[in-house]
């Protein structure tokens, strides 16, 4: 009786204000569940979370989040406002997306219809095959108009591996790495505004031979150490879906190349040559200041003006992910002081956030100082370890 009385009151108010009855009742229906009718005849009542690339995520109190393919959907009716992104949209910028119709969604297996607000008054119908994304108004506003907090929105992986040997010689090695990236917006179906990345890797090992005496002759203890450390950070600001400006810094230490510390501070331009749901490739060029400090030999310090020319590639598949970085670093005030590097990492997911990874780091330093024994210009490292995927929500 109360519900009937309330609706009668709304109907009377509509007559006084000359408003359509559905508009007045819409506020009352905010808590009304969305309805999803499946092709097998089952009906689910709950809340549409999103739809991306043909898969709907629908939440019910009893079953939680369910992923349903469009092929299994007969009807969908929402009570809240959603926007539908057509896959034929070439630009996904803030201006372009804000102009999309926003309203309740009624869909069948063939088409998606957006019932717009009273101000828009334009009924939008999109074929299901072109409805790439369906997203609620709150999520869309957050992605378009807000920035994640400093500690949110980061995704990446942490890897660790170790070796321990106790024998005539004692040996131990440790390797670890952390790679993080944050893209804003944090979803792939909108044009990127900015991107931040952090990478750290460290490999340390030592082989020791205890002192021993044979026939009255004592051989002193020996120790051989290896240490390779790398850190870099980069910030990209996009001018278009593919062109961006960047600032970066990098720090390297390589004991085997007599390099105590190499520091790089620079900025430049980048171009996203490829961007698909599974692949991304970037080309970058910078101008920079570079300082090299060596452990021994002559010269002990180099102050250089140069560039970094780099190519980054990422491939994400269901069974593995692959990343590669190629870089060439010339110095304009000392043509001999150039360097180059290549890194490759393959990760295999195993259980939940855990996985297994293989990686290589090949670096070349053309100008190591004169030392005895002579320092090799090339350094190659192979690592393997357990990986933990880092996923930060926003």
When divided into structural domains, the chain yields a total of 3
Q: Which domain holds residue 23?
A: 1-29
Complete DSSP assignment for 22-70? HHHHHGGGGGSPEEEEETTS-EEEEEEEEEETTEEEEEETTTEEEEEEG
126 in any annotated domain? yes
Residues whose CB is less than 8 angstroms from the CB of residue 83 and which lie 6 or more positions away in sequence, other chains included: 97, 100, 101, 102, 114, 134, 135, 137, 140
Looking at the structure, tell me whether residues 195 and 76 fall in a common domain.
Answer: no
Mean pLDDT confidence for 244-248? 98
Q: Terminus-to-terminus CA distance in the chain, angstroms?
A: 43
Mean pLDDT confidence for 41-66? 92
Tens-place pLDDT, residues 176-193? 999 999 999 998 888 899
Radius of gyration (C-alpha) of the chain in whole angstroms: 29
Average per-residue pLDDT for the chain:
86
What percent of the chain is predicted at pLDDT more than 90? 55
Looking at the structure, tell me whether residues 140 and 57 fall in a common domain.
Answer: yes
Answer whether residue 237 shows pLDDT above 90.
yes
Tens-place pLDDT, residues 356-377? 999 999 999 998 888 777 888 9
Answer whether residue 27 shows pLDDT above 70.
no
333 in any annotated domain? yes
CATH code for the domain of 276: 2.40.160.40
150 in any annotated domain? no
Looking at the structure, tell me whether residues 68 and 199 fall in a common domain.
Answer: no
Angstrom distance (rounded) from CA 142 to CA 158: 28
343 in any annotated domain? yes
Looking at the structure, tell me whether residues 344 and 225 fall in a common domain.
Answer: yes
Angstrom distance (rounded) from CA 394 to CA 392: 7
Looking at the structure, tell me whether residues 184 and 198 fall in a common domain.
Answer: yes
pLDDT band at 296 (very low <50, low <70, confident <90, very high): confident
Residues whose CB is less than 8 angstroms from the CB of residue 339 and which lie 6 or more positions away in sequence, other chains included: 262, 328, 329, 363, 364, 365, 366
Looking at the structure, tell me whether residues 8 and 59 fall in a common domain.
Answer: no
pLDDT band at 339 (very low <50, low <70, confident <90, very high): very high
Long-range contacts (CB closer than 8 Å, 24 or more residues apart) made by 65-73: 68/36, 68/38, 70/109, 70/128, 71/39, 71/109, 72/38, 72/39, 72/40, 73/36, 73/37, 73/38, 73/39, 73/107, 73/108, 73/109
pTM, two decimals, is 0.81
Looking at the structure, tell me whether residues 276 and 371 fall in a common domain.
Answer: yes
Looking at the structure, tell me whether residues 37 and 107 fall in a common domain.
Answer: yes
249 in any annotated domain? yes
Looking at the structure, tell me whether residues 282 and 364 fall in a common domain.
Answer: yes
């Amino acid at each position: 009786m109360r519900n009937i009385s309330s609706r009668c009151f709304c109907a009377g108010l509509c007559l006084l204000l000359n408003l359509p009855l559905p508009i007045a009742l819409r506020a009352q229906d905010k808590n009304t569940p969305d309805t999803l009718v499946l092709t097998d005849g089952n009906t689910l009542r709950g809340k549409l979370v999103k739809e991306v690339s043909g898969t709907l995520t629908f939440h019910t109190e009893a079953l939680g989040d369910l992923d349903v393919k469009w092929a299994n959907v007969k009807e969908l009716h929402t009570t809240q406002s959603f926007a539908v992104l057509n896959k034929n949209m070439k630009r996904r910028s803030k201006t372009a997306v804000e102009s999309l119709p926003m309203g309740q969604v009624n869909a069948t297996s063939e088409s998606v219809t957006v019932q717009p607000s009273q101000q828009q008054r334009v009924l939008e119908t999109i074929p299901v095959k072109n409805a790439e994304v369906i997203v609620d108004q709150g999520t869309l506003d957050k992605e378009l108009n807000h920035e994640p907090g400093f500690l949110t929105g980061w995704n990446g992986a942490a890897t660790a591996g170790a070796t321990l040997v106790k024998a005539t010689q004692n040996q131990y090695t440790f390797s670890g790495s952390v790679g993080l990236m944050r893209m804003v917006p944090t979803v792939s179906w909108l044009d990127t505004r900015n991107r931040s990345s952090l990478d750290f890797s460290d490999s340390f090992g030592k082989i020791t031979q205890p002192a021993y005496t044979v026939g009255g002759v004592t051989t002193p203890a020996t120790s051989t150490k290896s240490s390779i450390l790398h850190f870099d950070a980069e910030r990209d600001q996009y001018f278009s879906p593919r062109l961006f400006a960047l600032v970066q810094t990098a720090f390297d230490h390589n004991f085997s190349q007599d390099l105590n510390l190499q520091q790089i501070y620079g900025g430049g331009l980048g171009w996203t040559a490829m961007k698909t749901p599974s692949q991304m490739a970037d080309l970058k060029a910078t101008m920079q200041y570079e300082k090299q400090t060596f452990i021994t030999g002559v010269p002990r310090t180099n102050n250089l003006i140069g560039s970094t020319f780099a190519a980054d590639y990422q491939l994400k598949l269901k069974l593995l992910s692959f990343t590669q970085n190629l870089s060439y670093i010339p110095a304009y005030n000392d043509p001999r002081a150039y360097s180059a590097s290549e890194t490759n990492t393959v990760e295999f997911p195993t259980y939940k956030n855990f996985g297994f990874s293989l990686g290589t780091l090949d670096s070349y330093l053309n100008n190591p100082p004169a030392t005895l024994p002579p320092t090799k210009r090339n350094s190659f490292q192979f690592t393997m370890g357990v990986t933990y995927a880092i996923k930060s929500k926003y």
